[in-house]
Structure 1
């Protein structure tokens, strides 16, 4: 290596043969053949799948994907939880030759949509509990054509009797807003009684405009009685239906006392078709503020089909108070985009679907952003419900299906990927306000796994608790490294991973031998162990920390709780296949500024260069570049940025190789290892996530009333947080701090949320005329930190997930 100090050339002498013809599929298949009966995936309940079972299950899923066009070069979005069936689905993607695109459930929908759109992904895999959310994402996408559902259990849903009891309690409330299904979310908008009464009058007008004299009106979901009270004195007959028996008994007594023509019966929405069929001369059926509580659009289609089939030609169905996804209201409820209704009408020749937006001043608060739908029954209705688009988000294709199930045309055939095919695409923060999609080949992952498993002696007896989000590249080693070695992964649901105490319990009770995370995640678990005085035991033998500064105190803290564990610090970049260096921490020199980066891994080279591109001397700071087999393909669909960051490598042993410009400052030390010195640009690492400050600034500047935004890191490298200063348009009268925080929550992942925000009339300027970022830091440090956002359910409401919002 011409021009480099001899010690650097020796440190970069990492060339080592590896299986350049292998793919991650080969690694998994070898493990299945050699260790077929050993555990591969575990949960807190025990072994979920052996290696042989995991190979068979992921292969079955791959055949379903392939039958629907998933194959070489295809990006497949994956929105899942940490469960065995979800891991099998990810492995199924790479078996088809496609590359998986992990999507974090904690991301806002806008960011997920950005990633899918930028890659033009046509297929999406989801877990059952995200079905509603994926429906909205796919409905708003011009590219998504197929949605696949993993076979795992959905989030717990109350049984019918339990739901009836819930609505018994809600409709019995003395608060008319609560009784009508409003104000159930304590953190949401607080409706006033008069607003709810205005809404009931609005619905009654919609019904009466379409009511035929002498005909009956049927209300599905009539529990509160507000709409019924508006309609009953004005129609010939009102048939009220609701899941709450108690509510219907109260309504019957009220109608009898008032002498009104009301019949009240208890039934669920999916039973309403039969009830409507028994009504003499039904003219209008109304569902007012009801469908947002339905489990999914498949259920909604079924209810509407049964009602349409039971009604005479020309009768109307009024679906009032539909929440559009782009309103941002009540995530988790069933929200329907307006064009969905035309798709419904297309399935019934002659059915007319009229979508009515609300005029300004009609209704106040969130009700103003909702809409109503009028369906007019056609002369002929199919006897059975027409199928929705095959594999659509409202009716996902089950990955549990047998070979070829639901497949168009001939049976599927898997064509294995090659070493140069993409294995995955992981999105990182981008300075332009849009995420960057880093694409990595199979061969880079195989090189990483072979090096890591040999160096750290990963064997079939090893158990790793899988902590990292699938959207965080640390998970790549978990999936293909540990499983490729014949070891096993202990999987905890995302909800448990968010609780350090649950993770601590799993760590000490399930024989975990390996830990892999950012430093902050592990120190949180250590804090729980220290507080409880609990002994961590002797099973844990390796702790791998990366993605952020490793505290100099980490070794002592680890030794006190896990005396048998060895600490390993790793570094690299998402653009260089997870890790490309490591350092075994045997002792800590008090003179160190940080734990060393260490030495390059096999077939990786680290260059520290001056601004003119010449090599730095020992202990001379410079710009860090990574080269070798670990370097990614680049940023998908962004040739300009790829050319800017992935440069020709003039020191490569073979022509055509590239080096990645990391944006880090570093130096090769006289001791022969690399020291990380921080970032060159406006990029920082917070709790293990690499964040472009420019992305936060770009998103904030899109907010109405914001003229300029500047994001800065605050605190020490080991305890970083983000601050954001915003200058309002015109210097004043702009958004306040809570409004800025709310806007950012809807657009950025949690780890990119500034903890301190200030809205200023002017920003401090340095002598150069640029914003003085150093002067902003004390202003932001003095800003109030937001309180923790804690959801509190109504006491005694017992609301299941399906009915937790209005």
Structure 2
């Protein structure tokens, strides 16, 4: 089982078929394969060997995809980091996985230089690496074992440090083979890539495409939540398989006139995952697109997609939450504690991660921290979280990660964060106890967060209070905080 074999095989079958479509142009499998070999040759020349890590700090481009493939071809483990991450966070990720090389696009190089990059972390631009060796110098593709790691996806961590979810070739391919078969991906398809490469939704976009010899359309980060542009891109690029978080679809429906015209002529499957899809909007979309298959997928980064539910006309009369369905990808799902109708969702099977990078390997089933219940039709429904992890537009956020940054501000004695609202209206509120008179303003905290966190984790509002409410066991009472915020906003 070799993840990098997918592009190699498709390039052999149909070298001139389009593989990647982006604002840079349309690139064939031959071009992607050759560029991957150039990066593999360059990495090998630089001494990158099996098991080494390569961090990619970049916008979504052909070069980024080719470098991922080049890293896999020399047996390295790639760790993609979205371009919207500040240099400080990229340094923390690099310190976590100790990469042989950090490769950044020109924007990343500029920001790293301005922030005073740590010279102990080797940094190079895509241009530098790409020109170091010809494709002919690439070593033979690395023949990995199925359970060797392929990539690391960094997510928000409760301690304030990013957590690296380590995924093996077997983990990824177990999901990809199921998903491509379920969706029926063929070489004629055009798949959207709405998610950034560090978000697990992108795994389907890229690798189901390469498995089938289809083409993937890279949605620029600047358009990710621009409803009018997204709707236009969907039709202009003749996308046949769309995959995104529900909030992107809702935004397109409400503010992008997605449903004002006839359904997109080429769209045959619409997949969504990452957060609950409000049932009324599901009904609206289903009625507008009766001939488009609609699939609701569920799974944390640690398992990728482990359940699936297909929306049909029978759901139109339902007022219950949209089910997340039944187990897929060869996984098994159970509720803990046993024999209860509602409890924690537990996943076991081939998609469960190897573990968090730098920690002990994961063994056995994965306890998701998500609460689920069995609906009357025997389908699993998502209820919520049992901890302080939240979802904002599909991004998984540990509130403790933001709280660590806010609490480090010199004007803050202590702080807690909560999310107010849901869907498109979800906002991150910081509640702070000031250090001395006064307290930090919103712009101060936004700057502090922007220097250390991805943009989607920057606080939207700040409230200064004399003290944080506590529960009986001395922990911050987040429900009381929400009531306080409601009362403050009502004044």
TM-score using structure 1 length: 0.57
Q: How does 1:654-803 map to 2 (within 5 A)?
A: 658-716=364-422, 719-729=425-435, 732-766=437-471, 769-781=474-486
Name stretches of at least 5 consecutive residues in structure 1 with no aligned partner: 1-21, 151-395, 406-410, 649-657, 786-806
- Determine if contact 2:445/2:459 at 8 Å carries over to the other structure: no
Aligned to 1:545, which of 272, 277, 286?
272
Other-structure match for 1:73: 51
- 1:782 Cα shift? 5.7
**CA–CA separation in structure 2 for the residues paired with 1:145 and 1:754:** 32
Are 1:433 and 2:433 an aligned pair?
no
Work out the CA distance in 2 between the residues paired with 1:604 and 1:84: 32
Deviations along 1:409-431, one digit per CA (max 9) or x if unpaired, are xx856533332221110011100
Give the conservation status (yes or no) of the 8 Å contact 1:97–1:421.
no
1:686, distance to aligned residue in structure 2 (A): 1.2
1 CA distance for matches of 2:88 and 2:459? Answer: 18
Please give the alpha-carbon distance, in whole angstroms, between the structure 2 residues aligned to 1:88 and 1:781.
48
Aligned partners of 2:231, 2:487: CA distance in 1, in Å?
A: 34
The CA RMSD measured in Å over matched residues stands at: 2.5
SS in 2 for 1:574: coil
Q: Which residue of 2 aligns with 1:581?
A: 307
Residue by residue over 1:271-300, the C-alpha shift from the partner in whole angstroms, topping out at 9 and shown as x without a partner, is xxxxxxxxxxxxxxxxxxxxxxxxxxxxxx
Aligned length: 489
8 Å Cα contact 1:63-1:413 kept in structure 2: no
Superposed CA offset, 1:368-415 (max 9, x none):
xxxxxxxxxxxxxxxxxxxxxxxxxxxx3335742488xxxxx85653
- Structure 2 unaligned residues grouped into runs of 5+: none
- Contact 1:39–1:488 under 8 Å retained in 2: yes
Deviation of 1:556 after TM superposition, in Å, equals 3.0
The question of whether the paired residues in 2 share the 8 Å contact of 1:665 and 1:680 is answered with: yes
Whole-Å separation in 1 of the counterparts to 2:442 and 2:353: 39
Q: Matched residue of 2:291: which SS?
A: coil
Matched, 1:43 2:22: yes
1:446 is matched with: 173
- Give the distance between the partners of 1:83 and 1:437, measured in 2 at CA: 23
Q: Determine the C-alpha separation between the residues in 2 that align with 1:148 and 1:417.
A: 27
**Do the aligned partners of residues 94 and 581 (structure 1) sit closer, same or farther apart at CA in structure 2, a change above 3 Å counting?**
same
Match of 1:300 in 2: none
Partner of 1:112: 90
Q: Secondary structure of the residue that 2:453 maps to in structure 1?
A: coil
1:534-574 Cα deviation digits (max 9, x unpaired): 33422111111100111212333324554432211000111
Aligned partner of residue 440 in structure 1, secondary structure? strand
Aligned partners of 1:122 and 1:146 also within 8 Å: no
- Higher RCO (CA 8 Å, separation ≥ 6 residues): 1
Q: Distance in 2 between matches of 1:136 and 1:101?
A: 23
| Inter-partner Cα distance in structure 1 for 2:227 and 2:390 | 25
Larger radius of gyration: 1
**Is 1:608–2:335 an aligned residue pair?**
yes
What's the TM-score once normalised by structure 2's chain length?
Answer: 0.92
Find 1:568's aligned residue among 291, 295, 305. 295
- Residues 573-652 of structure 1 aligned to structure 2 (within 5 Å): 573-576=300-303, 578-586=304-312, 587-588=314-315, 592-610=319-337, 615-617=338-340, 620-639=341-360, 646=362, 648=363
Q: Deviations over 1:705-751 (max 9, x none)?
A: 32211112222467433222111135x34333432333222222121
Following the alignment from structure 1 to structure 2, what is the Cα–Cα distance between the partners of residues 124 and 45?
23
Give yes or no for contact 1:728–1:761 (8 Å, CA) kept in 2. yes
Q: Decide whether aligned partners of structure 1 residues 770 and 58 sit closer, same or farther in structure 2, where only a CA change above 3 A counts.
A: closer
Indicate conservation of the 8 Å contact 1:714/1:723, yes or no. Answer: yes
Structure having the higher strand fraction is 2
Match of 2:6 in 1: 27
How far apart are 1:524 and its partner, in Å? 1.8
SS state of the match for residue 279, structure 2?
Answer: coil
1:472-491 paired onto structure 2 within 5 Å: 472-491=199-218
* Deviation for aligned residue 1:118: 0.9
CA contact (8 A) 2:245 2:393 kept: yes
Is 2:54–2:103's contact at 8 Å kept on the other side of the alignment?
A: yes
Cα separation, 2, equivalents of 1:669 and 1:738: 45
- Counterpart of 1:124 in structure 2 is 102
Name the CA distance, whole Å, in 1 between partners of 2:23 and 2:117. Answer: 37
Distance 1:64 1:414, change over 3 A: farther
C-alpha separation between the residues in 2 aligned to 1:501 and 1:599? 34
Tell me, in whole angstroms, the C-alpha distance in 1 between the residues paired with 2:171 and 2:131. 28
Compared CA separation, residues 51 and 436, structure 1 to 2 (3 A): same
Cα deviation for residue 148 of structure 1 reads 4.1
Alignment CA distance shift 1:430-1:417 (3 Å): same
